[in-house]
Amino acid sequence: MNIVLGVTGGIAAYKAAHIVRILKEAGHSVRVVPTESALRFVGAPTWEALSGQAVQTDVFTRVEDVEHVLIGQEADLVLIAPATADSLARIRAGIADDLLTATVLTTTAPVVVAPAMHTEMWFNPATVDNVIVLRSRGVHVLEPASGRLTGADSGPGRLPEPQEIVDFALSVHREAAAQSASGLLAGRRVFISAGGTREPLDPVRFLGNRSSGKQGAALAAAAHRAGAEVCLASANIDSSILASLPTGIDIREVETTAQLESVCREQAAQADIVIMAAAVADYRPAQTAGHKMKKDGDAGLTIELVQNPDILAGLVENRREGQTIVGFAAETGSPETSAAEMARQKIVRKRCDLLVFNDVSGGKTFGHDTTSVEVLALTDTGAVGLGDFTGDKADVSVSVMDTIAKHAVE
Ligand SMILES: Cc1cc2nc3c(=O)[nH]c(=O)nc-3n(C[C@H](O)[C@H](O)[C@H](O)COP(=O)(O)O)c2cc1C
């Protein structure tokens, strides 16, 4: 997600460095926009080094990119921490005399503000009034903490801890994204397969893969929140993940590819949107031993594998009128072909409407709470990107579901 972090000229500006760290580590792109005063507390090199992006304070630098409009337009979330009494007043008044206030005026993304100032400034009627007006306009103003302030005094006005600010800001974004998708899928049936299939070798061993099913389960939750009737085929997803899903999702548990195929066929026949997020085994053992296989001296073991059916290909072949089929591609790439190029080739080859691609090279994604995906759409001329989403799997799923839903109901 593209996050703009506004930093204004308060003593707590140094704490914003930690906020940049937390957001970057969660995989977000962070553009720091400090005020002139903020740079008197913490210099531009700190922000540039931590964020990996250029820093400027005024609207007259890099004019060719029209940044005073562009930064706000491209933002998914604008967070201002710390926000001075002065910045609250300027934002309330609609003043746009620097890059940060211009960005706030142009963005349609959620705006989260974390004020920090002396208690007297916080309780001054002017500030109280500014906060009331900002909240009434939909700006999310975090209540300051109480504690040690600049100098010896203490009281309400202290900047909350960086992690608390980040958690609040991300929850605001999640809520806003869910609101935007809410009702979009009312009356639609969505079928999602998730997890990873297992092919038994004997009663205790199997050939499997590293897919946890977190992403697919989060997609099912997002589709449910968007108003859809949801069926989730769960291929070996941990029960704690399934238990966290909202009630009302029809969960069908499967183990093998053959079992998954049978549920997919049955459910796809009634679904408006089919999302194949499960990691399906391409091969299964030709024979499954009826009892636990024993080691045979020092001899090695050769297992014959046979191909499993291509479930996605079968669904595309039997596609219902108006049905949207979404494939998933977890690619590592190869020395000759990048992971992104492989995904583009896959959507053209598989002829599904959309493809959610993630780069899983180097152990990225599997089993983690964060992910980075690109949604591709198939057109007459090949694959086109509909959006890149990075962050917590739950947040990414809301954005991906929103993209799928908008494409499907178009
Ligand atoms: C040492 C020092 C600490 C300050 N701390 C704060 C503060 O925590 N909160 C605040 O609202 N203003 C604080 N100020 C005042 C702001 O820096 C001043 O209002 C400035 O104009 C804010 O500019 P900006 O809102 O464009 O960043 C402080 C000033 C100084 C000199």
Q: Are residues 149 and 37 in the same domain?
A: yes
The residue whose C-alpha atom lies closest to atom 19 belonging to ligand 1 is: 86
Dihedral, 211, 213, 218, 221 alpha carbons, nearest 10: 160
Q: Strand runs (DSSP E) across 212-286, as ranges?
A: 229-235, 250-254, 273-276, 283-285
In the reported structure, the alpha carbon of residue 10 is separated from the centroid of ligand 1 by a whole-number distance in angstroms of 4
The answer to whether residue 310 is domain-embedded is yes
From 39, 84, 141, the mutation candidate for ligand 1 (largest count of ligand atoms within 8 A of CB) is 84
Q: 66 falls in which pLDDT band (50, 70, 90)? A: confident
**Quick one: 199 and 251 in the same domain?**
yes
Q: Which domain holds residue 296?
A: 186-408
**How many angstroms separate the alpha carbon of residue 142 from the centre of ligand 1?**
18
Q: List Cβ<8 Å contacts ≥24 apart for 356-365.
A: 356/277, 356/326, 356/327, 356/328, 356/329, 356/400, 357/328, 357/329, 357/331, 358/328, 358/329, 358/330, 358/331, 359/331, 359/332, 359/333, 360/330, 360/331, 360/332, 361/331, 361/332, 361/333, 365/215, 365/330
Q: Is the domain of 78 the same as that of 140?
A: yes
Q: How far is CA 97 from CA 73, 115, 165, 250, in A?
A: 18, 20, 26, 53
pTM of the entire structure?
0.70
Do 213 and 110 sit in the same domain of this protein? Answer: no
Instruction: Look at residue 154 in the predicted model and tell me its pLDDT.
Output: 83
Catalytic residue among 130, 209, 236, 308: 209
Assess contact for 233 and 262: CB atoms under 8 A: no
Give the position, in ligand 1's atom list, of the atom nearest the Cα of 12.
8
Minimum mean pLDDT range among 45-59, 113-127, 137-151, 249-263 = 137-151
From 40, 86, 99, 149, mutation site for ligand 1 pocket: most ligand atoms within 8 A of C-beta: 86
Better pLDDT: 324 or 62: 324
pLDDT digits 0-9 by tens, 94-126: 999 999 999 999 999 999 999 999 999 999 999
Residue 209: active-site member: yes
Distance CA 89, CA 92 (A): 5
Q: Which of 145, 174, 203 is the last residue of a domain?
A: 174
Q: Tens digits of per-residue pLDDT, 300-358?
A: 999 999 999 999 999 999 999 999 999 999 888 888 888 888 999 999 999 999 999 98
Cβ of 276 less than 6 Å from ligand 1: no
If asked whether residues 161 and 215 sit together in one domain, one would say no
- Domain boundary residue among 174, 208, 225? 174
Domain count, the chain: 2
In this prediction, residue 182 carries a pLDDT of 73
The finding on whether 257 has its CB within 6 A of some atom of ligand 1 is no
